[in-house]
Amino acid sequence: MQLHVVNKSPFEKSTFESCLLHVKKGSSILFIEDGIFAALNKGKFSEKVKNALENYKIYALEPDVNARGMKNKVMDGIKLIDYSGFVDLAAEHDAVQSWL
């Protein structure tokens, strides 16, 4: 299984939607940089992400969440990790795909 890294805001770019269309069940998705805006509560994409949680393990990079002042808005079920956790995820999966 692979690790899919999304670094774009879903409001700005279609990257996250393309990722969802092409990720195999059981894979992991990690939001970093402006990608973390997909991980938040109560937004236009929250329902889509909530559904995705049933098929994928979803993570968000806490340093990027905190930088943007979104600490208390992360959706339940999304696991916050730091750079060390990012390294662990990359090591644990067979390959890393960056959705640039």
Partner 1 sequence: MKFGILINEGPYTHQATDSAYQFTKAALEKGHEIFRVFFYHDGVNNATKLTEPPQDDRNIVNLWSALAKEHNLDLVVCVAAALRRGIQEENLAEGFRISGLGQLIESGIQADRMITFGD
Partner 2 sequence: MSEEASGVVKKFLYINRKAPYGTVYALESLEVVLIAAAFDQDVSLAFFDDGVYQIAKGMDTKAIGQKNFSPTYKALGDYDINKIYVSKESLDARGLSKDDLMDLKYEDEDDDWAEKDSIHIVNSEELADLMDSQDVILSF
CB 4 within 8 A of CB 27: yes
Q: How far apart are CA 11 and CA 82, in angstroms?
A: 24
| Between 33 and 79, CB nearer to partner 2 | 33
- Does 51 bind partner 2 (CB under 8 A)? Our answer is no
Residue nearer to a copy of itself on the CB measure, 16 or 59:
16
Q: Which stretch binds a copy of itself (CB under 8 A): 7-15, 35-43, 58-66, 83-91?
A: 7-15
User: Site for partner 2 (CB under 8 A): how many residues?
Assistant: 43
- Among a copy of itself, partner 1, partner 2, none, what binds residue 54 when CB lies within 5 to 8 Å by partner kind? none
> Within 10 A of 41 (CB to CB), how many other CB atoms are there?
14
Least Å distance between CB 78 and partner 2?
15
Tokens of 59: 């993570």
Give dist(CA 55, CA 73) in Å, integer: 22
